Amino acid sequence: MKNIVTGPRSPAPSTAPTLRSPLMAPLIPVAKPRLPLASAILPYLKEIDANHWYTNSGHLWFRFQGKLADHWGVDNNDVALVANATLGLTLALQASGARPGSICLMPSWTFVASAGAVVQAGLKIHFVDVDAATWMPDPAAIAARNDLDRIGAILIVSPFGMPFDMAGWDALSERTGIPVIVDAAASFDALRAGGPLAIGRAPMIVSLHATKVFGIGEGGAVVSRDPEWLERFRRLTNFGFYGSRLAMSAGINAKVSEYAAAIGLASFDMWPAARAKFAALTERYRQNLGPDGAVGIMPRFGEGWVTSTMSVTWPGDRADGPTRLAAEGIATLNWWGAGCHAQPAFADCTRDDLRVTDELGRRVVGLPFWLDMTLTQVDAVCDSINRACGRSVRASRARRRLAVAPTASAAPVPAVHHQIARALAAGR
């Protein structure tokens, strides 16, 4: 896989710093996924050779599904594999009976795949704003809308895999009968058994794309505790068939082959070590950037879950920050751009006032974060951020020394994301 190396989002101002010397620190990409090595996948491939079974509910597919179910602490039957999360979202909306042509409420603050899936399911998008503290819509605000009788479905998104409370959404769905679907594309870890994101009533769709914390290249999985819903979903992924060759619904082919399952099984073999590394990188960023750091860390980052991206909110008065980082060889990427409503494909969709989304779109910056990144590279990124924000690099190095001293407490730092909320409250 090619490194994802991205420069600044906007054209560099003429005063932008330029690379001073070719002997500067090496380029640090924003992402550099690592899936299991060929040698780790090989034993599973040999099983496929021996089985002569390549797709359609094969042995490895079944085992991989079971491993996902164990990981999420649900029954084997509560998980369904799907070719990727975008198809998973589309088919989940269809399996939920959302009437084609009806309105689907969804945040604009998400990756375009969520919006594409809604349109592909035949629904009309209406974008809602997110809460500055959670980066998600507020279920109480949705429950108070006076147009709920026109709403066919609600799609919510766990931003970058972060945990949130499902209770308000489940209650809303139960009270109104409106299906809620959860785009939990990056929540593989938050959803783990005993993890901080509890599985509720609504189906949750996880992506297994190479850029995710647990990747198989292309793939996805759906978790739901409703067997009838899952049967409808599975049918839609398999030409409408389920247990016979009678097409009971107009399905498509969104199955997962034995080869993808082989990568999944090998990914599980490396998961404990990979998770430990992601957790160490997470902790290092938290130590470096801290609750009062130069930039705001994304909500709930490091609170008992890991993900494969690290986003921060950049101070509004330092808009040239990413350009400065790029000049020091550090790539950044605003993973969700300015929100879906800023994308040409979705610019015509109806929407509420998207004040917080617009602010996030202007200020959220994805920093380098990948499995093989070293702690030294994390330190270099954070030093560069401090320089770009006019903060003392020496003070942050001292904090780092304190944090890594053997006597330092390993207690989690309290929730750290308040910068955007403060800035919005101050009208900045």
CB of 370 to ligand PLP, least distance (A): 15
* Residue number, 81 or 327, with CB nearest to ligand PLP: 81
Phi, psi of 85 (to 5 degrees): -70, -30
Q: Is 289 in the site for ligand PLP (CB under 6 A)?
A: no
Q: Which stretch binds ligand PLP (CB under 6 A): 23-31, 83-91, 142-150, 235-243?
A: 83-91
Q: How far is the CB of 350 from ligand PLP (least distance, A)?
A: 21
Distance, in Å, from the CA atom of 418 to the CA atom of 327, rounded to the nearest integer, reads 28
Q: Cβ closer to ligand PLP: 201 or 209?
A: 209
Of residues 207, 282, 311, 357, which one binds ligand PLP by CB under 6 A? 207
Residues in 8-47 that interact with ligand PLP by CB under 6 A: none
Give the contact letters, 107-126, x = binds to ligand PLP (CB under 6 A), - = no.
---xx-xx------------
CA atoms within 13 A on the CB side of 204: 30
Q: Which stretch binds ligand PLP (CB under 6 A): 8-16, 84-92, 227-235, 418-426?
A: 84-92
Q: Is 311 in the site for ligand PLP (CB under 6 A)?
A: no
- Report, in Å, the least distance between residue 295 CB and ligand PLP: 21
How far apart are the C-alpha atoms of 197 and 26, rounded to whole Å? 37
Phi, psi of 62 (to 5 degrees): -65, -45
Q: Could you tell me the two tokens for 70?
A: 């164990």
Chain residues 85-104 in contact with ligand PLP, contact rule CB under 6 A = 85-86
Per-residue H/E/C for 145-204: CCCHHHEEEEEEECHHHCCCCCHHHHHHHHHHCCCEEEECCCCCCCCCCCCCCCCCCCCE
Q: Verify binding: residue 185, ligand PLP, rule CB under 6 A.
A: yes
Structure tokens belonging to residue 14: 């003429």
Minimum separation from the CB atom of position 386 to ligand PLP (A): 29
Rounded least distance, CB 86 to ligand PLP, Å = 3
Rounded distance between C-alpha atoms, residue 428 and residue 425, angstroms: 8
What is the DSSP pairing of strand 204-207 with strand 180-183?
parallel
Site string for ligand PLP, 154-183 (x = CB under 6 A): ---x-------------------------x
Sheet of 310-313, strands arranged across: 296-297, 310-313, 364-367
- Judged by CB under 6 A, which of 65, 84, 90, 267 binds ligand PLP? 84
Least Å from the CB of residue 92 to ligand PLP: 11
Residue the block writes with tokens 């945040």: 107
Beta pairing partners, 156: 182
| Minimum CB distance to ligand PLP, residue 114 (Å) | 5
Residue pair 363/316 in contact by the 8 Å Cβ criterion: yes
Taking CB under 6 A as the criterion, which residues in 213-272 touch ligand PLP? 220
Could you tell me which stretch among 32-40, 79-87, 235-243, 384-392 binds ligand PLP (CB under 6 A)? Answer: 79-87
Tell me how crowded residue 181 is: count the other CB atoms within 10 A of its CB: 32
**Residue 275 CA to its chain's centroid (Å):** 16
By CB under 6 A, how many residues form the interface with ligand PLP?
14
Find the length of the chain.
428
Which positions touch ligand PLP (CB under 6 A)? 84-86, 110-111, 113-114, 157, 183, 185-186, 207, 209, 220
